[in-house]
Amino acid sequence: PILVIATRNAHKTQEIREMLGDRYRVLDVNDFPNLPAVEETGTTFLENATLKAVAISHHVTGLVLSDDSGLEVDALGGAPGVWSSSYGGEEGNHPKNNARLMTEMAGKADRTARFRCTMVLAEGGNVLANFSGTVDGRILDEPYGAGGFGYDPLFAPEGYDQTFAELGAEVKNSLSHRGRALAKVIAWLESRD
């Protein structure tokens, strides 16, 4: 079967594809010409994940899964949070996001943070269910590693001294907010079959 991820972020699609293995053929909106851009007007991960999954599921056949995610930093009052993608000023510009995060965190003693991911499954314009995952960790002073995407070079998950960008895809997927949310999606889909 096919699962369409309601994302334009190819890194999300790649991680989900790795974790789903041969359970589904994983596509995303980049594989469909002429899909409308979805405006993320919500103020929560659940609202934005719902907007993306419902909108795309009106245009494609079968199951659609969205992923709205972000980084919450305690010393910054939970920022960048829902606005993680445009924190550095330009939507999806990861180097600028990381540069701003480093600047804002300079000299801060409290380094605790977490990634959050909310996923919504939809079909034919209807929400089937939603799922969330989080991973706690801390923000380092400077970036380390070349794997992953986004804030991964600045984020070390709890129990590790290395960042998600250093740990590699297998370790990241086994601990990450996305991996934890997706494990719940898989369990839900299997219990439904």
User: CB of 151: closest distance to ligand ITT in angstroms?
Assistant: 4
Which residue from 62, 89, 92, 168 is in contact with ligand ITT, where contact means CB under 6 A?
92
- Rounded to the nearest 5 percent, the helix, strand and coil shares of the chain are 40, 25, 35
Say if residues 57 and 48 touch (Cβ distance below 8 Å). no
User: CB of 126: closest distance to ligand ITT in angstroms?
Assistant: 20
Which residue from 24, 60, 67, 101 is in contact with ligand ITT, where contact means CB under 6 A?
67
28 is catalytic: no
Say if residues 9 and 31 touch (Cβ distance below 8 Å). no
Say if residues 35 and 56 touch (Cβ distance below 8 Å). yes
CA–CA separation, 129 and 143 (whole Å): 36
Nearer to ligand ITT, 9 or 50 (CB): 9
DSSP assignment letter at 143:
-
The CA radius of gyration of the chain, in Å to the nearest whole number, is: 16
34 is in an annotated binding site: no
Q: What is residue 74's three-state secondary structure?
A: helix
Which residue from 20, 119, 152, 156 is in contact with ligand ITT, where contact means CB under 6 A?
152
Nearer to ligand ITT, 69 or 130 (CB): 69
Nearer to ligand ITT, 8 or 191 (CB): 8
Residues that bind ligand ITT (CB under 6 A): 7-9, 12, 40, 67-71, 84-85, 92, 97, 115, 148-152, 176, 178
Binding residues for substrate, as ranges, are: 7-12, 69, 149-152, 172, 177-178
